A = this chain, B = another copy of it.
Amino acid sequence: MNKIVKIAEAYTELQSMICRILEKADGKANFSVNPWQKDIGNGITCVLQDGAIIEKGAVNFSFVKGKFSAQMEKLLGEKAVEFAATGISSILHPINPWMPIIHMNVRYFALNNGSSWFGGGIDLTPHIILPEDAVLFHRLLKEVCDRFDADFYPEFKNWADDYYFLPHRNETRGVGGIFFDRLKPAENQGFDKLFGFTCALANAYPKIYSGFMEKNGQKSYYEREKKWQNLRRGRYVEFNLIHDRGTKFGFESDGNTESILLSLPTNASWEYNYIPEPGGFEEATLKQLKKGIDWLNLNQ
């Protein structure tokens, strides 16, 4: 368990670093720092509200231990008595509909049966898809991946397409990104490489988003874009409450509800049988919410 303490320390430092960079890019609001402690462990929930660009942003760190429940055994397909887990999880909901929602998570999970693994990912959910931004986002992720393993980007990109998907809507959540889980140091990769990879992702995350803040954070918008943003936020709520593994695990392990549900936007809306105006940005966005788009080789 010495390893996990070292990881938790690194993740805590990365959490502060992420908050500092995002505060600087936002320029108005600061993160409030809310430490919490429950039977299961502790965490630090950092929340930025009503910024100049970020409407609601969360950067959560947690380090928890507990009994490995029957529910978790089923979810993870492993037999053990106890688990320990540490991770950073962040979601940023911007004010401006032309800005994307972003999500980042890195985590380490260890069982008392000797099994342990890293998981995580970064994915982008534009309310309105700007193809050049999606291309840039994927390029930046590939750069981070390639520093560790040339197989990471293609493999984790497909994994993200499959994971960030709403079957009941037949839509991807956004333009994807990378997702990985159960990367076991013993079997697949060296521990240092995988640990380093998760740190590099957490490190790249606020820089990538700051770029979008600078580019699109002040773009002008109208009621139409705002209405569409709220409908897209509705889909984000659907994904997070129905599918998201982090939310499920959080509830299963009796985590901190307020921290877990910080992933939800301030407002969301639903409309029965919404049909987009032909030729509008809404329709163009819906057409691109598909698996398998090769953003790095897009024919535009």
CA distance A269 to B55 in the complex (A): 13
CA distance A56 to B213 in the complex (A): 36
A266's nearest neighbour on chain B, judged by CB, is B269
As a 0/1 sequence over residues 49 to 90 of chain A, the CB contacts with chain B under 8 angstroms (1 = contact) are 100000010100000000000000000000000000000000
Across-interface contacts of A266 in B (CB, < 8 A): 269-271
Please state if B169 and A264 are interface contacts (CB–CB under 8 Å).
no
Query: Closest residue of chain B to A239, judged by CB?
Result: B241
B271 touches A230 (CB 8 A): no
- Inter-subunit contact B56/A272 (CB<8 Å): yes
A185 interface residue per 8 A CB criterion? no
List the B residue with the shortest CB-CB distance to A240: B241
A237 & B230 in contact (Cβ 8 Å cutoff)? no
Q: Which of B47, B169, B237 makes the CB contact (< 8 A) with A241? A: B237
Q: Point out the residue from B47, B58, B168, B269 that lies within 8 Å of A251, measured CB to CB.
A: B168
Task: Choose among A242, A267, A268 the residue with the greatest number of B CB atoms under 10 Å from its CB.
Answer: A268
Question: A34: which B residues are within 8 A, CB to CB?
Answer: 273
Q: Is A238 an interface residue (CB 8 A)?
A: yes
Q: Across the interface, do A261 and B257 meet the contact criterion of CB distance under 8 Å? A: no
A272 to B265, CA, bound (A): 10
Task: Name which residue of chain B comes closest to A270, CB basis.
Answer: B264
A268 to B242, CA, bound (A): 16
Q: Is A41 an interface residue (CB 8 A)?
A: no
A169 to B264, CA, bound (A): 15
Extra A-B contacts (6), CB below 8 Å, given A237-B241, A242-B251, A266-B270:
A49-B272, A168-B251, A258-B272, A258-B273, A264-B270, A267-B267
26 sampled A-B residue pairs with Cβ under 8 A:
A34-B273, A47-B272, A56-B272, A167-B251, A168-B257, A168-B260, A168-B261, A169-B257, A230-B267, A234-B264, A237-B237, A237-B241, A241-B241, A241-B242, A242-B242, A242-B251, A258-B272, A258-B273, A261-B270, A264-B270, A265-B270, A266-B270, A266-B271, A267-B267, A267-B268, A268-B269
